[in-house]
Amino acid sequence: MDKYPIDLDFTVRRIQDNLFHLFTKIQINHESKSLPGYVLFIEGVSLFSFDEKASLSEEDKANLLHYSGLNITINSFRNILATLTANGPFNKYTLPSIDVNKLLHDKQIQLKNKKQS
What integer pLDDT is reported at residue 108 of this predicted model? 84
Out of 3.40.50.300, 2.40.30.10, 3.10.420.10, 3.60.15.10, the CATH code matching 6-116 is 3.10.420.10
> Count of alpha carbons within 13 Å of 55, Cβ hemisphere only?
0
Is residue 7 a contact partner of residue 67, using CB atoms and an 8 Å limit? no
- Cβ atoms of residues 12 and 45 within 8 Å: no
**83-103: pLDDT as tens digits:** 999 999 999 999 999 999 999
Q: Structure pTM?
A: 0.86
pLDDT at position 28 is 96
**Helices first, then strands: H and E counts in the chain:** 3, 3
CB 28 within 8 A of CB 39: yes
Q: What is the pLDDT of residues 24-68, one digit of tens each?
A: 999 999 998 999 999 999 999 999 999 888 888 889 998 999 999
| Backbone phi and psi for residue 103, each to the nearest 5 degrees, phi listed first | -60, -45
The residue-averaged pLDDT of 71-79 equals 96
Q: Which of 69-78, 81-90, 98-107 has the lowest mean pLDDT?
A: 98-107
